[in-house]
A and B are shown apart, each in its own frame.
Chain A
Amino acid sequence: MTIKKWLFLIGLLCILSSCGNESALEPSNKANEKLDLTHISTKNNDTSQHPANQAKDALSKYKEITEVKAVNTTKQLIIAVQVEQNKRFNLTSIRKQLQKEMKKKFPDHKVELTTDKKIVIELKKLEEKLQSESISKKKVEKRVKEIIKLSKEQT
């Protein structure tokens, strides 16, 4: 009797563990209305945000993404997305899927994609500074490095 109970439990665990993260994001052609897609345009060519704006456009085709912020330097690109609440159960697989896609799209940048709310907040502040031209290229690079380091913190 107890052996049967244990076998049942182990079988249940195996089934549960295979309940993996299946549903991925599906691109749609409709415009994502909720998304705030302001492109950052800087007169200073050194801090051009063209790759970041491209990344935002590429990600806007997913209707599950509710927020996207991106900043790039000449070598690095950091993107932060927020996903709608119901899809948050599959957050890890969504993040992996988007990371792969962005890395393929920008092969000559070091791409970091995160789903962390804090990084969204920090990138929003940085984007505002870029838009108002109140920040130099060196400071942007330093800030991007800091933000990437923050996104990798584990404890």
Chain B
Amino acid sequence: MIFFWAFVIGGAICVIGQILFDVFKLNPGQTLTILVVVGAILDGVGLYEPLIDFAGAGATVPITSFGNSLVHGAMQEAEKHGLVGVVTGMFEVTSAGISAAIIFGVIGAIIFKPKG
């Protein structure tokens, strides 16, 4: 059942991105930035975690979850260390996406040939 909702919610978030592309005529960089910020705000108001509970990967795979994890990391650290934690704690929970992208980027550059 969660597979169905992962498909639907993930697809819905991508449709929002597509609307930002086609109707608001934004480029991918702007769209992804807006989506990450929206993810951070939704976690701030406590709406993103229930979405993850409901849709599983449908909410953790889109780029919006990156904003959500950053807020989580900051809040966790702020609970322990006060206001300073907001600055220091952000990447505690979130390193998978960025590290993986960089590591596989370098590996990709080593093994694959450029097309252009």
Which residues of A line the B interface, CB within 8 A? 13, 16-17, 19-21, 85, 88-92, 154-155
B46 touches which one: A20, A85, A88 (CB < 8 A)?
A20
| Interface residue ranges of B9-48 to A (CB < 8 Å) | 41, 44-47
Flag whether B93 is at the interface (Cβ < 8 A): yes
A85 touches which one: B5, B44, B45, B76 (CB < 8 A)?
B5
B6 to chain A, nearest CB (A): 11
Given A13-B41, A16-B45: A92 and B50 within 8 A (CB)? yes
- Measured as residues with beta carbon below 8 angstroms from the partner, the interface class of chain B is 10 to 19
A91 to B76, CA, bound (A): 20
Work out how many contacts link A and B, with CB atoms closer than 8 A. 33
A17 near B45 with CB under 8 A, answer: yes
Query: Which of A16, A85, A91, A155 has most chain B Cβ within 10 Å?
Result: A155
Given A85-B1, A154-B93: A91 and B45 within 8 A (CB)? no
Contact partners of B93 in chain A: CB under 8 A: 154-155
Closest residue of A by beta carbon distance from B94: A155
Flag whether B98 is at the interface (Cβ < 8 A): no
A65 to chain B, nearest CB (A): 15
Contact partners of A154 in chain B: CB under 8 A: 76, 93
